[in-house]
Amino acid sequence: MHAINWFAIPALDLDRAFNFYSTILHGNVRKGTFGNRELILFNVPFQTGEAVGGSIVKRDDLIPTTDGSILYINAFGKLSDAVKQVEAAGGKVIMPCIDLGKFGYSAIIIDSEGNKVGLIANEN
C-alpha cells in the first residue's frame, strides 16, 4: 500500500497546464474526464496499485498555491531535461537540481498555474 492514494493539482487553465506538464514530463500526461469534468492524468499504472495516481483539475474550490506541502512528481527521465523545459513552458525554477544520494535528484518549481511542485528522478 502507498501512503498516498491520489492527488489533485489545481489549475486555472487546463490547456495551459496540459501544455506545461506535457512539455516538462516528456508527454507523460493525457487529457481525460471524470464524471462531467475534464482533467489531466499522469501516465502511471495507478489502476493496478503499482503507482500512485493523480490529476490536474480545474475546480472552483481548488486554488493554485506556493504554500503548504510539496508534491514531488516523477520527471520521467533525467531531471535536468525536465528542469531545462520549465521556464520555456511557462514556469519558474526556484530550487535547481540537488543530489539526494541514493534517492536520486530533485528540484522545486512553480508550474504554469502558480503551484509549488517538486520534480524527482533517478538521473540528473
- Set of cell numbers at residue 30: 493525457
> Residues 70-95: pLDDT tens digits?
999 999 999 999 999 999 999 999 99
C-alpha pair distances (Å), 53 with each of 6, 38, 90, 99, 112: 5, 16, 24, 25, 20
> Residues 40-69: pLDDT tens digits?
999 988 878 788 889 999 999 999 999 988
* Global pTM value: 0.90
Q: Which domains does the chain have, with CATH numbers?
A: 6-121 (3.10.180.10)
Angle CA 52–56–61, to nearest 5: 115
